[in-house]
Structure 1
Amino acid sequence: MTRGKDVRAAADVPCRLLEAVPSLDGGDADTGNMLIQGDNLDALKSLLPYYKGAVKCIYIDPPYNTRSAFEHYDDNLEHSQWLAMIYPRLVMLRDLLAEDGSIWVSIDDNEGHYLKVIMDEVFGRRNFISNVIWQKIYTVKNSARHLSEMHDHILVYSKDVDSWSINLLPRSKELNASYTNPDADPRGPWTTNAVQARNFYGAGTYEITSPEGRSFMPPSGTYWRVSKETFDRLNSEGRVWWGRDGSSIPRIKRYLSEVKQGVVPASMWFHSEAGQNAQAKAEVRSLLDDAPVFGTPKPEKLMERILVLASNPGDLVLDSFLGSGTTAAVAHKMGRRWIGIEMGDHAETHCKPRLDKVIAGEQGGVSEAVGWTGGGGYRFYRLGAAVFDADGHIADGIAFATLAAHVWFSETGTPFTGAGDTPMLGMHDGMAYALLYNGILGDRSVSGGNVLTAPLLSRLRDESGWDGPMTVYGEWSKLGAARLKEGGVTFKQTPYDVRAR
């Protein structure tokens, strides 16, 4: 595939139906969570009319393009195939991402640096946040030919760096334990900071006298951090600690109640805090019994950290390389909405059993840490027929709601949130949109239903209460060009004026 085709590939993907499979639903299917079986490129295209700009956090763990990725390995050919695979998927993921959202992509050194260049192009270099280093293995492999590889990369990009902000990590019990209150200070637990520093902060040097009359000057080569006026004020407020005997070199109190109630995340994640590969494999084995384990599943602790930093309860999370289902499982436990896509049998043999156990309240992984006890559910979908045939015309049997979502998305570029049970689809930027299709009005006769007539136009305006500009899709119109112009109506004929791409 040429470079030009790679770039245009996302636009050429057909829009296919998402067909619900009620027999494979899990728990309460009305929660809005989606488990989709099928090729993720087609599935992402099918989600766009409904979820463009709606996803707060995307995590993907694509194939790393090691030498086993393709049946017949050729280094240059395999590399180009991998790039051709990932590029259109990143384009669609970008379109699904909310303006204040972020995408996190796991990768190793086989394609990591090339992926960085592609993501710079798709998401913009200014939106690059960090290259997180995750310690996936904690023991050195003596069998390594050169260096024992112990880490993966996680490339992090925002949709818009000016709109995105990262959450802080929760403070650990160990961190808070360093704050005590030996003098029963009414402001609560505290720790101390030295009042002297090697850098000159403008406060200079001056004599400090303790309550017991002992005098202090900053040690040689150091300075006081604060001015004399500030120090005297802090001392009068009881914010200076002179030691238990009241004569030690002073230190300034820092109260737990006044520090950030969280920790700024670092770009180096050790296995003790974000899990590791062996732990991930054990989690999958415990949940999936005899099902084959993916070679490199990700641990729930890793996903928990990403979702803590990049989302809040109720936000929508998407993983289009779902694998063994870790992202969906952790998102479910943490009260996020989720969409997971996995091709082939793995959607049924790995993802569904794992998620069903999550709904039942399984206590593995991060369950205890996040207080998970069970509940919720999801709908199971498979990819169905294309909405349009090879000539770009509407395929037979397409339901009104499906075409309505496509028409709305093609006209407005926004996801369709209407009920899909009325010809009036909604208003956007001062324009109303209506679709006359598939007998939506219960009248398939020539004088009604799918044909725009003067009485039908009046009915549309009366029922919607809208007298401004209107775009109407239908089989044909009985109103002439002059009448349409006078009524502020743009008529578009189905199927010819419905854009297939």
Structure 2
Amino acid sequence: MPFLDWVNKSRAKEATRAVPYHLLQQEGAFGEPADNLLIQGDNLLALKALIPFYAGRVKCIFIDPPYNTQSAFEHYDDKLEHSQWLSMMYPRLVLLRELLAEDGSIWVTIDDNEAHYLKVLMDEVFGRANFLCSIAWEKRYSPPPDTKDFGYVHDLILVYRKTPAFRRNLLPSTEDQTGRYKNPDMDRRGAWKAMDYTCRFTADERPNLFYPIRQPNTGEEIWPKRNRVWAMSKEVHQRNEAEGRIWWGSKGLNTVPALKNFLEGVAQGMMPMSLWKHGLAGHNQDGKREALALFGDTPFSTPKPEQLLSVILHVATQEGDLILDSFLGSGTTAAVAQKMKRRYIGIEMGEHARTHCLPRLQKVIDGEQGGISATVGWQGGGGFRFCTLGDPAFDDHGRISADVKFATLAAYVWHFETGEPGHQAFDKPLLGVHNGTAYYLLFNGILGDRRPAGGNVLTHAVLKAINEVFPHVGPKVVYGEMSRLGTSRLAAEGVTFKQIPYDIKMR
């Protein structure tokens, strides 16, 4: 598979590993208690801060990054040199992939300025086999007034999955779609729509699809064109005949058959297509009107409409799933997730995280009726926590910040050792058992004794207490300030000791 190269790519790859872990500092909670997070801060630092707690837990990621259009926006520097833009995107995509669930997907909006480079970059990060679709979204329904050569009326949405475990949902059928189904022959199976019985392949390309069909009403032998053969094999055609799924016209004398596609199956939902017209997914003017109604101004030049996000979340998620947007902008993704009963994490670095995102989400809790509210029956409720980035969890010498609590360090240790997120309640020395190995942490006097010779140090007494209160038959890994036990005793007990802070390495 070809890889994309650019100036300072090696530095961008190293930046992913060098990003320090920061603590999340809660500034306030709004509405009912909830796990939803609104984070103000650099999204690269915020993503790294989330890794120990949310790795592999995010079902759907939507991001609307700067398009690098060589123009300047009020809230984003969107005039980055090409290689700088790629270096900005690469480490963020790597961290986003680590946060994504095995059955999750990521959706990235972009335009033609960087779309093709981004495609190759995402092939590298997510794997080319995990590319699902490049969706053309009709962002405006009339030609732009300032066009000179071509009028761009669409953006692209690149869609990738984490693994083949991803399963997309069907979209609800619309009245416009179902209205095309009729029942001219009073078929007992209900309304149907005639579908083309041929396909674009030639007889040389698909010789098995080039065969004669007998017209039942005239007895005539019907052959397809050599440059457009039948759409199904002879066996499938015979099954269609037996099931009465072939239509020869209102008088039964057509020379080319059609396939009956019944509404009963279609009513369950429609397959998502690669072209999203504004009637399905809204357009930028909708986004601007929504922003004006909420804020009295438009915080971004091209805010995404709630309808677009609702279609994405409908295809990619179920109620209760966790959604992440690390370029939150005016807060649309979080607002739609709340209204659609999904959980969310939104990250925005600008001051408008406070001036726009925060009040918008408060209005959602209060039951505001803009955007998709009427469609989904939103009446308000829920809540979220507003956080900022605190100090680094570890300094340049590996020392642990005084603000790090037991549960936070436990999440780091657990994630490093197991690769799993630390979402359980860490309130005892035994963090858990993974692949037959038990992991323990002695920190912040978790055993009730803060003396250096006490609960943070692995002594004979502490080991005895661990074996009695938190027994485990099998290998043990114990993190602590120091060990007073010799190597032979540790080996006899099946214990691997790791010293804080020197042996705490972050993924």
Q: Give the TM-score of the pair, scaled to structure 1.
A: 0.88
Does structure 2 conserve the Cα–Cα contact (< 8 Å) formed by 1:320 and 1:340? yes
User: Secondary structure, in 3 states, of the residue corresponding to 2:472?
Assistant: coil
Say which of 57, 60, 64 aligns to 2:60.
57
- Judged with a 3 Å threshold, the aligned counterparts in structure 2 of structure 1 residues 151 and 452 are, in CA distance, closer, same or farther, namely same
Q: Please give the alpha-carbon distance, in whole angstroms, between the structure 2 residues aligned to 1:229 and 1:56.
A: 42
Deviations 1:211-231 (A, max 9, x none): xxxx56467868998789757
Q: C-alpha separation between the residues in 1 aligned to 2:454 and 2:365?
A: 48
Amino acid aligned to 1:167: N
Report Cα offsets for 1:288-327 as digits up to 9, x if no partner. Answer: 23x5521111011111111111111111110000000011
1:439 aligns with 2:445: yes
Please give the secondary structure, in 1, of the residue aligned with 2:323: strand
Cα distance in 1 for residues equivalent to 2:78 and 2:192: 57
Q: Which residue is 2:70 aligned to? A: 67
The count of aligned residue pairs is 484
Shift of 1:132: 1.4
* Alignment CA distance shift 1:451-1:173 (3 Å): same
Distance 2:129 2:248 in 1: 48
1:461, CA displacement in angstroms?
2.7
Aligned residue number for residue 340 of structure 2: 334
CA distance in structure 1 between the aligned counterparts of 2:70 and 2:422, rounded to whole angstroms: 42
Q: How far is 1:478 from its partner?
A: 1.9
Change (3 A) 1:490 1:305: same
SS of the counterpart of 1:29? Answer: coil
Q: Which residue of 2 aligns with 1:168?
A: 170
| Deviation digits for residues 254-304 of structure 1 (CA, Å, limit 9, x no counterpart) | 433344722222212222221111110110111123x55211110111111
Determine helix, strand or coil for the equivalent of 2:455.
coil
Residue 456 of structure 2 corresponds to 450
Paired residues of 2:191 and 2:262 also in contact (CA < 8 A): yes
Return the letter of the residue paired with 1:285. Answer: L
- In 1, Cα distance between equivalents of 2:46 and 2:487: 40
- Specify the alignment match of 2:82 in structure 1: 79
Letter in 2 for 1:281: K
SS in 2 for 1:317: strand
1:462 and 2:468 aligned: yes
What per-residue deviation string (whole Å, max 9, x for no partner) do you get for residues 200-259 of structure 1?
8577344635xxxxx564678689987897577446xxx788999x97779775433344
Matches within 5 A, 1:310-459: 310-459=316-465
Q: In structure 2, which of residues 283, 295, 300 is the aligned counterpart of residue 294 of structure 1?
A: 300
**Deviation string, structure 1 residues 51-90 (Cα, Å, up to 9, x no partner):** 111111111111112334599xx99972222222111111
Instruction: Give the CA RMSD over aligned residues.
Output: 3.1
Cα displacement string for residues 173-225 of structure 1 (whole angstroms, at most 9, x for unaligned residues): 222233456777654x222547976998577344635xxxxx56467868998
**Correspondence 1:135-214 to 2 at 5 A:** 135-160=138-163, 162-180=164-182, 187=189, 189-191=190-192, 193=194, 204-206=212-214, 208-209=216-217
Contact 2:66 2:78 in 1 (8 A): no
Q: Tell me if 1:5 matches 2:11.
A: yes
Q: What is the SS of the residue equivalent to 1:154?
A: strand
Aligned partners of 1:260, 1:370: CA distance in 2, in Å? 19
With over 3 angstroms needed to count, the CA separation of the structure-2 counterparts of 1:490 and 1:194, relative to structure 1, is closer
Alpha-carbon distance, 1:151 to partner: 1.7
1:282 to 266, 271, 289: 289
8 Å CA contact 2:70, 2:80 repeated in 1:
no
Q: Does residue 107 in structure 1 map to residue 114 in structure 2?
A: no
Q: In the superposition, relative to structure 1, how do residues 172 and 79 fare at CA in structure 2: closer, same or farther (>3 Å)?
A: same
Report the identity percentage. Answer: 52
Q: Which residue of 2 aligns with 1:212?
A: none
Per the alignment, do residues 220 and 397 of structure 1 end up closer, same or farther by CA in structure 2, a change over 3 Å counting?
closer
- Deviation of 1:149 (Å): 2.0
Contact 1:284 1:293 (C-alpha < 8 Å) held by counterparts: yes
Counterpart-to-counterpart distance in 2, 1:368 and 1:37: 29
Distance 1:465 1:256, change over 3 A: farther
The alpha-carbon distance between structure 1 residues 178 and 44, as it changes in their structure 2 partners (threshold 3 A), is same
What CA distance in whole angstroms lies between the structure 2 residues aligned with 1:138 and 1:435? Answer: 59
Query: Which shifted more, 380-389 or 58-67?
Result: 58-67
| More deviation, 463-472/338-347 | 463-472
Shift of 1:119: 1.4
Q: What letter is aligned with 2:25? A: E
Distance in structure 2 (CA, Å) of the matches to 1:283 and 1:500: 42
1:274 to 1:493, Cα distance in 2 relative to 1, 3 A: same
Question: In the aligned structure 2, how far is the partner of 1:154 from the partner of 1:75?
Answer: 18
The question of 1:474 aligning with 2:480 is answered yes
Q: 1:452 to 1:368 in 2, by over 3 A?
A: same
Structure-2 change in CA distance of 1:241 and 1:150 (3 Å): closer
Code of the aligned partner of 1:102 = S
Counterpart-to-counterpart distance in 2, 1:218 and 1:102: 49
Residue ranges of structure 1 left out of the alignment (5+ in a row): 210-214
CA contact under 8 A between 2:416 and 2:505: conserved in structure 1? yes
State the secondary structure of the residue aligned to 1:374. coil
Residue 140 of structure 2 aligns to a residue whose secondary structure is coil
Q: Secondary structure at the match of 1:208?
A: coil
For residues 255 and 121 of structure 1, do their structure 2 counterparts lie closer, same or farther at Cα, with a shift above 3 Å needed? closer
